[in-house]
Structure 1
Amino acid sequence: MLAVIGAAIAPGIAILSYFYLRDNLEPEPISMVIRTFIFGVLLVFPVMVLQHIMQTEWNWRSELFASIFQSAVVEEFFKWMVLYFTVYKHVEFDEPYDGIVYAVAVSLGFATLENFIYLIINGVDIAFWRAFLPVSSHALFGVWMGYYLGKAKFSGKANLELRRLFVSLALPIILHALYNSIFLTTEHWIWIIVPFMLLLWWQGLKKVQRAHDFGSKTLTSRPQ
């Protein structure tokens, strides 16, 4: 059991620590980050109930569409909703990179409990692939979500803020849908998912740097 717990928790904590430590402008209170992570953990339960209802009560004609809606749309919407109502208006969200920190935290909280349940059922032999694929993919969807939440927060114009808020939800859903589609549309998914994940990491790290650059300008322009 200890091996399962360690294998389930370690990837999420490691990835979250990486993104948290990249915040070299005004690091967020660790208590806020942990709270957001816990919100992500708790989010698993209502999402699982909703997904179960959809699976059993709705007459899906396409497995691909069912997977995209039940997983990509539902999971990313609820993560976004938690962020918007608990973090977005908070006083500690005071520079653009904070959006990435909090979005990654809620995403990894969700992915960590999901990973634990999966490893309990299937064993730790697949822990490496679970860390590389589902856990890190949730984190990277969170990077895109948080990047545009940060851009929205400091837009300065209401209409631009609304557009960026929409993008902060739509892009993670699209990326999550593409991720799911790879597994459902080809038997040779390994040859597609590995470059897809590497591309997500590359683009995600570019978003991190851009958020830092934007944050530096935001802090410099504040009245002293």
Structure 2
Amino acid sequence: MITLIGAAVAPGLALLCYFYLRDNLEPEPISMVVRSFIFGILIAFPVMILQYIIQVEWGFNSVWASSVLSAAIVEEFFKWLVVFLTAYKHVEFNEPYDGIVYAVATSLGFATLENLLYLILNGNTVAIWRSLLPVSSHALFAVWMGYYMGRAKFAGENENRRVFLLFSLFLPMLLHVIYNVIFMSAQYWMMLIIPFMIVLWWLGLKKVHLAHEFGSKNAHNRPQ
């Protein structure tokens, strides 16, 4: 059991440490990051309840409905809502990259509990596959969410804050839908998921670089 728990938790913590240590301007308080991670764990329960209601009570139980509506849209909305309500307006959210840190922490909290439940049901023989695909994909969707939240919070006079917030919500949803649709493509999923994940990592790391670049520029423009 200890091995199974370790296999479930390790990928999420490793990815969280990676993105946290990339904060080269002003690292966030560990307590805030842990809090976001715990909130991510906690929202998994209302998400599962709502998914049950959508699929069983409302009858949206087709593969497409469960993959798009009850998985991608519901999960990303709840993660976005947690980051927006608990971190976005917090005083510690004081540079653009912070959005990525808090969004990744929340998403990985959710993904870690989801991973643990999956491994309990299916065993740790799928642990490597789970860490390479579902857990890392949650983190990468969150990079987009956090990047645009950071852009929204530190938007300039000629930039539309609401547009950035909409991007922070709907782009992770779109990426999650694409990810799920790939797995619905039967025998072709392996041919599609590898290039998709490579591109997702490349674009995610590019967003990390852009957030740092925007943060450095924003820091230079602050009054001394």
**Do these two structures clear the TM 0.5 threshold for a shared fold by scoring above it?**
yes
Paired with 2:27 and 2:60, the residues of 1 have a C-alpha distance of 45
Q: Which residue of 2 aligns with 1:70?
A: 70
Verify: 1:96 aligned to 2:96, yes or no.
yes
| TM-score under structure 2 length normalisation | 0.97
Verify: 1:50 aligned to 2:42, yes or no.
no
Alpha-carbon offset, residue 61 of structure 1: 7.3
Q: Which runs of 4+ in 1 moved over 4 A?
A: none
| Aligned pairs for 1:67-146 within 5 A | 67-146=67-146
> Helix, strand or coil: the match of 1:189?
helix
Unmatched 5+ stretches in structure 1: none
Paired with 1:50 and 1:165, the residues of 2 have a C-alpha distance of 24
Paired with 1:132 and 1:66, the residues of 2 have a C-alpha distance of 22
Alpha-carbon offset, residue 159 of structure 1: 6.7
| Aligned pairs for 1:23-34 within 5 A | 23-34=23-34
Deviating more after overlay: 70-79 vs 157-166: 157-166
> Helix, strand or coil: the match of 1:188?
helix
Counterpart AA for 1:46: P
> Helix, strand or coil: the match of 2:27?
coil
Alpha-carbon offset, residue 57 of structure 1: 1.3
Alpha-carbon offset, residue 158 of structure 1: 8.8
Q: Which residue of 2 aligns with 1:149?
A: 149
Paired with 2:166 and 2:120, the residues of 1 have a C-alpha distance of 36
Alpha-carbon offset, residue 195 of structure 1: 1.0
> Helix, strand or coil: the match of 1:187?
helix
| Aligned pairs for 1:192-203 within 5 A | 192-203=192-203
Q: How many residues in Structure 1 have an aligned counterpart in Structure 2?
A: 224
| TM-score under structure 1 length normalisation | 0.97
Percent of pairs identical after alignment?
63
Alpha-carbon offset, residue 93 of structure 1: 0.3
Paired with 1:38 and 1:137, the residues of 2 have a C-alpha distance of 19
Verify: 1:215 aligned to 2:215, yes or no.
yes
Q: Which residue of 2 aligns with 1:10?
A: 10
